[in-house]
Amino acid sequence: MERREFLKKSAALGVGAGLLFLPKSLRGLSRLADAASYPDLVAVRGGTPETMFDRGIKSIGGMDRFVKRGQKVLLKPNMSWDSTPDGAANTSPGLVAAVVKHCLDAGAAKVVVMDHSIEFWKNSLQNSGVHAAATSAGAIYAPAESEGYYQNVAVNGLRLKEAMIHEAVLECDVLISIPVLKHHGGAGVSIAAKNLMGCVWNRRTYHSDGLQSCVADFLMARKPDLSIVDADKVITKNGPRGGSPSDIVEMNSLLISRDIVAIDTAASMMLGHKPGEIEHIRLAAEAGFGRMDLSKLNIERIKI
Amino acid sequence: MPKLAQMGKHAHTLRVFIVASVPAAFIYAYMSGAESNGILTALAGAQFSAALVGHGLPAGVVICVILSSLIFGRVFCSALCPLGIFQELAGLAGRACGVRESGQNPAGSARTRRGASSPDPFEGSKGLVPLRGTGWIPVDLVYVIPLLVGLGIIFDISPLTTFLDPIAIFGRGIALLRAVKYEETPVIWIALPFFAILIAAFFTRGRFFCGFCPAGLTLGLFSSVAPFGISLSDGCVSCGLCEKKCTTRCVDSKNKRVDASRCVLCVSCVAACPGRFARYGMRAGAPSENGEASRRSFMTNAMRMSAWICGLVYLSGAGIAKTIARFAPNARKNTGGDMFLSGEEYGMDYVILPPGAVSAENFGRRCVGCLACVAACPVRVIKPNRTSHPSLVYTDDFCQFNCVECGIVCPTGAIRHLGVDEKHRTRIGISSLDFMKCVVKTKGESCGACAEVCPTRAVRMVPYTESGAAGLTKPEFDEEYCVGCGACFAVCPAVPNAFALRGVSAQTLTPGIRPTDDEGYPALPPADDFPF
């Protein structure tokens, strides 16, 4: 009798526990079900980068759709230039801080920020304002100024066969590319895919082995899980450094998408390019990293 | 004050512990990155010889050090000279290893005894400077050194200053260690004087070079008449212990006298004296007070006079040279500087000098080769060249557009502290582009690395219409806006490099950042909506 009693009680407890967890798993299931109902691309305009991000990420399903509790998140903003936020060469510090907060709220175990800067790293970190904004929002800065932080990994791309990639990029569970939209003298535009060049130590091989192919090939090594394009102040000419106020156009926009090809295509259109005109975006689309035909995508356009 | 008297026993140990922080901080500042530039600026800026050569007599540091020597003795040598203190440490290490100098015995050599009996402190040799005061050489020959350096400054024979300046000797020694740390090609020979001096200090009592140092000898002239200094008071039994410990051999215990011109206030004697009779304070037997001056022979007076003349030549050399440089900058050719500034090593007429060097002329005249700028450069593009002076080499990185660190730390003003706006326009060299070597030409592929990093848009990407490929851009170089920062050269992926840099004889100002181009860009979509 005692044994039967025990079994009964255990069974009851088991069912109880199951019931306790059911709502959560049901919620998960429902989310999976209506993933299709979320837009593929959210485009916001008419606010500060922070408010546009808050609004946009809500529309695309919230940050917890992309970041799960306990995961390691790597944010790759552009903070390559010894230039102040007014110069628009780097991602807005406020946007990076907002993304950090959303990731931590979603339960990320840690949020790491890195960029292999082009100008002297210390000045770039300091003057871009991104380092201070991200770390005060709770992110960790991963140093990137010496070769020791990078590991040589096979990429097996069309042209990029191997690359020295930052260890934080290789370790992370979630990779988020947060570029600033700008013109680029060599690559045509610098958006989410080009931004990931800052994860690599031996950048020079990109230039010698075909810049456009290598930018697309990097996605073979690691495709970002989310891209957020800062198109608040945009360098439309003489990029990627810019330098004179006449190069900068205030577009007050922000794009969010999981599809790196779609977001790059949309952003390049904001600079007046036609889809397929930028070679590395076209190559990435051909390699199957995303969709270039925006007419087939579910795009949510928000005006604040 | 029995307690205070007891303190004397530890005076030397205490002092060594405190002042050892000076060479330690110097080495730290040279070896670590740009974050220690504040320490480097303060320490290098406080160096007497560098301030004298660079800024001349009116410099605050020069006046302070001369006045302090005139009143308190060579406190600068005691507390601030990294080379002097480092030698002392080497000497202590030598003693600890059981090194005994030949002739280091209480009786002393014959020459020492003869010197000791001389009534004039300038004559009282203790063997540190072998030629000094032997009685038959008419001039105190060691004073030839400040004389030569002084004349060297006046007539712009900069190798003399470069090789005899204490801070430069020290800096180049540490720069060698630095090169080893950062795996750079070390220029060994420029550091040899430093290591030779250290070895000499190890096997003698320390402070070996101080007897030859142009700055130290000149300060010694002032300290010889200083009211404060080391003296052996009544009660001294001439046991000779202080004499044995003295790092510069300036103590004559038999006659209870101290040669204040050579004393660097290391206070070894204070610590060594068992009866606390060697002490620092008002000097009882200063030559001017006890009437010895009148008893000096003609020869002694002549020697003393010539020593002063030599010292004054050294001191005024910088002042005169600076004045000449100010009023007639191109009046005379720098006879020594060219030796350092030849670009032959790098296949160009002139090396590329740090921003603010003004001209090869100015730089050659003022740079003593302490290599503080090498230590200060955050991206390590300033490197010592084989002729001991710094120049810019762009193999790994390039001169940062917004950085003026080298001008801040330079203790001699050889590199002027530029404002950032001025730096943006200062041309330190000129690049040139050979498009036939460019990857856009050779491979027909996009690159743009040069235009990306060019801070002044002297290099920009323009449509490469001849290629027929849509969207392909090629670099175009406009010399007028080039500041010679080397960014294009440093990032160029082409082998051989499509860019080549050359130095300029004088740094000039460019018009600034090149105006933007508005052609060749696609028309922007209407601003009020998304184009997709």
Predicted local confidence at residue B124, as pLDDT: 42
In single-letter form, the type of residue at position B442 comes to T
Predicted local confidence at residue B288, as pLDDT: 43
Which residues from chain A sit within 8 angstroms of residue B439, using beta carbons?
207-208
Please compute Rg for chain A using Cα positions: 21
Given a contact cutoff of 8 angstroms between Cβ atoms, the answer to whether A222 and A289 are in contact is no
- pLDDT tier at A3 (50, 70, 90 boundaries)? low
Token pair for B150: 């002084």
Of A46, A250, A272, which is closest to residue B532 (Cα–Cα)?
Answer: A272
Q: What are phi and psi of B257, to 5 degrees?
A: -130, 155
Q: How many H-runs (helices) and E-runs (strands) does chain A carry?
A: 11, 12
- Whether residues B451 and A185 touch (CB distance < 8 A) is answered with yes
Q: Characterize A105-125 residue by residue with b for buried, 16 or more Cβ atoms within 10 angstroms of its Cβ, and e for exposed.
A: ebebebbbbbbbbbbbbbbbb
Rounded-to-integer distance, Cα A155 and Cα A265, Å: 24
- Whether residues B524 and A277 touch (CB distance < 8 A) is answered with no
pLDDT tens digits, residue range B427-476? 999 999 999 999 999 999 999 999 999 999 999 999 998 888 888 999 99
Is it the case that residue B23 has pLDDT exceeding 90? yes
Predicted local confidence at residue B234, as pLDDT: 82
- Whether residues A270 and B461 touch (CB distance < 8 A) is answered with no
Rounded-to-integer distance, Cα A139 and Cα A134, Å: 5
> How large is the ipTM?
0.82
C-alpha triplet A228, A58, A236: angle, nearest 5°: 30
C-alpha triplet B215, B221, B226: angle, nearest 5°: 120
Given a contact cutoff of 8 angstroms between Cβ atoms, the answer to whether B31 and B174 are in contact is yes
Provide the residue ranges of all domains of chain B, joining segments of one domain with +: 2-306, 421-516
Predicted local confidence at residue B508, as pLDDT: 92
| Cβ-based burial of B225 (10 A; exposed 0-12, middle 13-18, buried ≥19) | middle
Percentage of chain A surpassing pLDDT 90? 82
**Residue ranges of E strands in B353-425:** 382-384, 390-392
Best residue in B452, B472, B477, B517 to probe A by mutation, most A CBs within 10 Å?
A: B452
pLDDT tens digits, residue range A229-283? 999 999 998 889 887 888 899 999 999 999 999 999 999 999 999 999 999 999 9
Nearest residue, CB atoms, B473 vs list A43, A185, A244: A185
Best residue in B445, B514, B528 to probe A by mutation, most A CBs within 10 Å?
A: B445
Predicted local confidence at residue B108, as pLDDT: 37
Q: Which of A218-222, B212-216, B307-311 has the lowest mean pLDDT?
A: B307-311
- The C-alpha of B439 sits at a distance from chain A's nearest C-alpha, in angstroms, of 7
Average pLDDT score over chain B: 81
CATH number of B421-516: 3.30.70.20
Residue contacts between A and B (CB atoms, under 8 Å): 126
Highest averaged pLDDT of the listed ranges A112-126, B41-55, B311-325: A112-126
Longest dimension (CA), chain B: 103
Token pair for B524: 């922007």
| Chain B from 230 to 289: CB within 8 A of any A CB | none
Nearest residue, CB atoms, A272 vs list B452, B461, B522: B522
Predicted local confidence at residue B312, as pLDDT: 84
Predicted local confidence at residue B119, as pLDDT: 40
Q: Note whether B470 contacts A: Cβ–Cβ < 8 A.
A: yes
Residue that wins the pLDDT comparison between B44 and B364: B44
